[in-house]
Structures are given as structure tokens and as C-alpha cells.
């Protein structure tokens, strides 16, 4: 019907979670927007892809060589929180409860998907730790087998570094979660590690 429409739909449908039908709806929606607005969308996607970089220290996304978190003198340089992806940094930053540094691995060890330790920024983490400022490593990885494997691998590699505390995020029932929807492993763990709240 319209090759321009077909092409816009085909390109949108390549995005994850966006099927042909949604892509068509999005494309048609663009017609109702000003040309300038669509140009801004197109340019912001392209600029992001072309210009964004990875922080030389922590592998976080950054517009500069060093990300704003690593460059911020007010952050606590003795603690580093190890995460899989950039989105995890955003999730933790949104809590406004953490004031240390981050380290973005870029994934987790997954033999099934052919991701080995050398594909991740683990050496960079060890280099940063070797510099001597860090005293605690918080492993904030997935609770999956791959996450546990990665945590185990990093913990083992850190065994040589004297005086480094390694912790992981507390497991338990999430706030607002229903007990009957939580899995058995979580409930068992939450029971075993119960918190004393009175005498």
C-alpha cells in the first residue's frame, strides 16, 4: 500500500516485544505527531546509539569517558555494587539508598548462551579492587543458577584479595508480595533468616 509505511513497520517490529500489529499502531501514531517531534525521536535514538560510551572505570553507560557516578566525589569509594546490566544501576539508584560505586558486568556467566567469564567485565572489576580503595563488594546479581554461578566465580577470584568483604543482596519476601505467591525456596530462606522484631 505504502512502502514508507511498510518499512517503518518492519523496522519497528524488529524491536523486542513489538509485533507487527503494535508496530503498525506506533507508525500510524507518528502521523498524528508533528514532524519535528518525530525528527527528535529519530535523532535521539541515533545519537544515543552513536555517541553513548561505556565508563572506563565501571562499564556503566556514560556520555563521557568516566560516568557521572564514578566522577562524583561525594560517592563512597570503599563500596562497589556489582550488577549485570545498566538497568540494574538505574533500579538501585532509584532507591536513593545506595551511595557507593557500581560495576556493570554486562551480563552473567551462562554456558547455555556461550557467555564465559572472559566475556564479562570481571577483570576490570579486579583491577579496580587491586587499586586498594574498595573494602566491600556487594554482589547484586540474579537469583538464577547463572547468577549464583557468577557470584561464586567472582567470590572465588576475590579470595586472593585480603580484607575485602563480599556480600549479596538479602533474599526474602518482597514488600507487597503475597506469601502464597512466593516460591518455596524464598519462603524457606525467609523463615531461616527471619528478623527479630521484639523480645
Closest approach, Cβ 96 to a copy of itself, in A, equals 14
Indicate the residue among 1 and 162 with the shorter CB distance to a copy of itself.
1
d(CA 104, CA 84): 6
Q: Does 67 bind a copy of itself (CB under 8 A)?
A: yes
Closest approach, Cβ 157 to a copy of itself, in A, equals 26
Residues of span 74-103 touching a copy of itself by CB under 8 A: 85-87, 89-90, 93
Q: Does 130 bind a copy of itself (CB under 8 A)?
A: no
89: cell is: 544501576
Q: What stretches of 18-134 adopt beta strand conformation (E)?
A: 53-54, 61-62, 76-83, 100-104
d(CA 19, CA 42): 20
Q: Does 24 bind a copy of itself (CB under 8 A)?
A: yes
CB 81 within 8 A of CB 100: yes
Q: Does 196 bind a copy of itself (CB under 8 A)?
A: no
Tell me which of 19, 68, 116, 144 binds a copy of itself, using CB under 8 A. 68
d(CA 116, CA 100): 27
d(CA 25, CA 79): 46
Total binding residues toward a copy of itself, as defined by CB under 8 A: 55
Q: Does 71 bind a copy of itself (CB under 8 A)?
A: no
Q: Does 40 bind a copy of itself (CB under 8 A)?
A: yes
29: cell is: 501514531
47: cell is: 545519537
Q: Is 194 helix (H, G, I), strand (E, B) or coil?
A: coil
Residues that bind a copy of itself (CB under 8 A): 1-5, 7-8, 10-12, 14-18, 22, 24-31, 33, 35, 37-52, 60-63, 67-69, 85-87, 89-90, 93
Amino acid at each position: 500500500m505504502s512502502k514508507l509505511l511498510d518499512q517503518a513497520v518492519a523496522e519497528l517490529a524488529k524491536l523486542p516485544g513489538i509485533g507487527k500489529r503494535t508496530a503498525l499502531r506506533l507508525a500510524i501514531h507518528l502521523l498524528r505527531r508533528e514532524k519535528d517531534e518525530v525528527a527528535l525521536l529519530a535523532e535521539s535514538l541515533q545519537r544515543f546509539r552513536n555517541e553513548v560510551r561505556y565508563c572506563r572505570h565501571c562499564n556503566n553507560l556514560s556520555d563521557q569517558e568516566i560516568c557521572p557516578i564514578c566522577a562524583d566525589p561525594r560517592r563512597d569509594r570503599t563500596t562497589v555494587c556489582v550488577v549485570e546490566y545498566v538497568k540494574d544501576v538505574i533500579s538501585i539508584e532509584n532507591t536513593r539508598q545506595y551511595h557507593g560505586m557500581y560495576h556493570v558486568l554486562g551480563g552473567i556467566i551462562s554456558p547455555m548462551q556461550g557467555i564465559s567469564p572472559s566475556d564479562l567485565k570481571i577483570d576490570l572489576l579486579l583491577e579496580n579492587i587491586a587499586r586498594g580503595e574498595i573494602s566491600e563488594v556487594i554482589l547484586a546479581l540474579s537469583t538464577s543458577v547463572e547468577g549464583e554461578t557468577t557470584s561464586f566465580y567472582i567470590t572465588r577470584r576475590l579470595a586472593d584479595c585480603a580484607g575485602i568483604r563480599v556480600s549479596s543482596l538479602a533474599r526474602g519476601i518482597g514488600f507487597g508480595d503475597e506469601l502464597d505467591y512466593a516460591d518455596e525456596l524464598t519462603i524457606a530462606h525467609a523463615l531461616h533468616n527471619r528478623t527479630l522484631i521484639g523480645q
